[in-house]
Amino acid sequence: MAVGVTYPLGFRAAGVTAGIKASGRPDVALVVADGDAVAAGVFTRSRTAGAPVLLCRQRLAASGGRARAVVVSSGNANVATGPQGRRDAARMAALTAESSGVGAGVLVCSTGVIGVPLPMARVEAGIRSAAAALAVDGGDDAAIAICTTDSHPKLACRAIEVGGREVRIGGMAKGAGMIRPDLGTMIAVLTTDAAIESAPLQALLSSAAARSFNRITVDGCQSTSDSVIVLAGGGSGAVVDGDAVGAFAAALDGVCLDLALAIVADGEGARRIGRYEVVGAYDEADAERAARHVAEDQLVRCALHGADPNWGRIVAALGVCGAVVDGDRIAIDLGGVPLVRDGMAVPGAAAAAGVAARADEVHVRIDLGLGAAAATIWGSDLSTDYVIANAEYTT
Q: Which stretch binds a second copy (CB under 8 A): 87-95, 246-254, 297-305, 369-377?
A: 297-305
Q: Does position 22 bind a second copy by CB under 8 A?
A: no
Task: Please enumerate in sequence order all residues whose Cβ is within 8 A of that of 63, keeping only pairs 6 or more positions apart, or say none.
Answer: 39, 105
In the complex with a second copy, the residue whose CB is nearer, 153 or 267, is 267
Residue 210 engages a second copy in binding (rule: CB under 8 A):
no
Catalytic residue among 185, 191, 217, 224: 185
Which of 90, 104, 350, 359 contacts a second copy by CB under 8 A?
A: 350
Is residue 330 a contact point for a second copy (CB under 8 A)?
yes
Query: Can you tell me which of 30, 31, 56, 114 binds a second copy, judged by CB under 8 A?
Result: 114
Q: Is position 185 annotated as part of the catalytic site?
A: yes
248 binds a second copy (CB under 8 A): no
CA 152 to chain centre: 15
Q: Output 161 or 342, the one with its CB closest to a second copy.
A: 342
Nearer to a second copy, 258 or 286 (CB): 286
Q: Which stretch binds a second copy (CB under 8 A): 101-109, 130-138, 188-196, 325-333?
A: 325-333
Q: Do 31 and 135 meet the contact criterion of CB atoms below 8 Å apart?
A: no
Does the protein bind a second copy through residue 345 (CB under 8 A)?
yes
Asked if 263 touches a second copy (CB under 8 A), the answer is: no
Question: Is 23 or 84 the residue whose CB approaches a second copy more closely?
Answer: 84
Question: Does 55 engage in binding with a second copy (CB under 8 A)?
Answer: no
Determine, following the binding rule CB under 8 A, whether residue 315 of this chain makes contact with a second copy: yes
Task: Give 247 or 316: the residue with its C-beta nearer to a second copy.
Answer: 316
Choice between 206 and 390, CB closer to a second copy: 390
Say how many residues touch a second copy, by CB under 8 A. Answer: 70
Q: Interface with a second copy includes 381 (CB under 8 A)?
A: yes
Question: Among residues 98, 308, 352, 369, which is the contact residue for a second copy, using CB under 8 A?
Answer: 308
Told to check if 245 binds a second copy by CB under 8 A, we report: no
Instruction: Work out which of 94, 135, 344, 355 binds a second copy, going by CB under 8 A.
Output: 344
Residues contacting 202, CB < 8 A, separation 6+: 40, 41, 65
Sign, CA torsion 30/210/7/238: negative
**Min dist. Cβ of residue 308 to a second copy (A):** 4
Choose which of 20, 30, 49, 270 interacts with a second copy (CB under 8 A): 49
Q: Among the candidate windows 11-19, 55-63, 187-195, 336-344, which touches a second copy by CB under 8 A?
A: 336-344
Per-residue mark of binding to a second copy, 146-185 (x: CB under 8 A): -----------------------------------xxx--
Q: Closest Cα to residue 30, out of 45, 44, 21, 18?
A: 18
Residue among 90, 125, 302, 359 that touches a second copy (CB under 8 A): 302
Q: How far is CA 83 from CA 109, 155, 296, 339, in A?
A: 17, 34, 35, 55
Positions annotated as catalytic residues are: 185
Residues that bind a second copy (CB under 8 A): 44-49, 77, 79-82, 113-116, 181-183, 219-224, 297-299, 302-303, 305-313, 315-320, 324-328, 330, 340, 342-345, 350, 354, 381-384, 386-388, 390-395
